[in-house]
Amino acid sequence: MDPSLERPDWQLLTPRPNYKLWLDKNENLDPQLAKITSSILSELNPLTLSTYPECGELYRKLAKWTNTSPQSLILTPGSDGAIRLTFEAFMNEGDSFIHTSPTFAMYSIYSKMFGAKAYPLFYEKGEEGPVLTFEKILEHIERIKPKLFSIPNPDSPTGTVLSLKTLRELIEFCKKLNIVILVDEAYHPFHEDTCVEFTKEFKNLIVARTFAKAWGLAGLRIGYAVGHPEIIKFYHKLRPMYEVSTISVAFMERMMDYSGEMYTSVKRLNEGKSYFRDAMKSLGFKVLNTNGNFQHVAFGEYAEKIHKTLKDRVLYRENFVEDCLRGYSRFSITTIENFKSIIELICKGMKDE
């Protein structure tokens, strides 16, 4: 087995302590949204643990919410599952694959699992953060002519986005070269732009989404892919006996009725993000304008002191090894109330000797 395919051994990992604020994995821990999910969980029929899933109603609700059709959708174990299914559908050993870098780690893993030749598109370090120009993307695609090209929008960990106009041009460009393009919208609607409507027109486009971020349901491991019905029909031929678990289906059937509350949660967390970003700017720290549910801050000369002050209270990403993000710390966004206490700790860390 390829040593690079070895995954973390869960038995060796230390569980996250409950006394710390978890801002390290870009989850939605909004306490107001958690009241709704807790209520739904308490009302679930125990039979959801004893029976196999019936997915029809969830497909109908999801089609209505995405303004598509049930035939345009397939449920998957998170957006991760949609990505893997795309590799299963289109990639053979030796096929070329382009992905951005840095990006979601599973793109590289799946390219190795399926024997694809990966050609990363590297972000460069710019004055305002990571940069990947449209011209560089086109040049890379035209030179490699891959079978598959993936572009998360927003990308992670960079937080960068492409406009819908640019994405449409990319999709059209890939269509001319017979390239499948996978647009990963895991952070929708923290970033509201979406390519879902384009799937009605382009048969070379797949959109991957998850309920882990905005919906606050990372533990359910449920997401979906959207595409032209002719493509999704092929995806269904590759699905396992059941796409996802009964409890995931039952929960999401109910949760879809609370999409308004989900949008309110996103608004609440984005307000917390703006509050935190403005506070960091006022303290003289450099911040990046990210489009996901996370915020990058460069603490500069105070970094060591601030990390020491925060380590017993908050879990977050202290630093990056990639050049385009080196020197920045990443915080998953939370409420204004939570950020106030974090800001107080940061101010304390700046003063500590």
CATH number, domain containing residue 240: 3.40.640.10
pLDDT in tens, the chain (353 residues): 576 677 777 787 889 999 999 999 999 999 999 999 999 999 999 999 999 999 999 999 999 999 999 999 999 999 999 999 999 999 999 999 999 999 999 999 999 999 999 999 999 999 899 999 999 999 999 999 999 999 999 999 999 999 999 999 999 999 999 999 999 999 999 999 999 999 999 999 999 999 999 999 999 999 999 999 999 999 999 999 999 999 999 999 999 999 999 999 999 999 999 999 999 999 999 999 999 999 999 999 999 999 999 999 999 999 999 999 999 999 999 999 999 999 999 999 998 76
Q: Examine the fold and report which residue of 256, 277, 304 is the final residue of a domain before the chain moves on.
A: 256
CA pair distance 238, 234, nearest whole angstrom = 7
Total structural domains within the chain: 2
**Cβ density class 258-294: b for 16+ within 10 Å, e for less:** beebbeebbebbeebbebbbebbeeeebbbbebbbbb
CA pair distance 325, 100, nearest whole angstrom = 14
Structure tokens at 55: 């997915």
Please indicate, yes or no, if residue 36 is contained in any of the structural domains: no
Full residue range of the structural domain in which residue 95 is found: 45-256
How deeply is 353 buried, as exposed, middle or buried, from its count of CB atoms within 10 A (0-12, 13-18, 19+)? exposed
Based on the domain organization, do 220 and 94 belong to the same domain?
yes
Based on the domain organization, do 169 and 304 belong to the same domain?
no
Structure pTM? 0.96
Q: Examine the fold and report which residue of 236, 256, 276 is the final residue of a domain before the chain moves on.
A: 256
CA pair distance 140, 150, nearest whole angstrom = 13
- Name the residue type at position 100: T
Of residues 313, 285, 310, the one with CA closest to residue 299: 285
Based on the domain organization, do 251 and 118 belong to the same domain?
yes
Q: Examine the fold and report which residue of 256, 291, 320 is the final residue of a domain before the chain moves on.
A: 256
Based on the domain organization, do 264 and 124 belong to the same domain?
no
Three-state DSSP class for 243?
Answer: coil
Asked whether the beta carbons of 271 and 336 are under 8 A apart, the reply is yes
Based on the domain organization, do 252 and 150 belong to the same domain?
yes
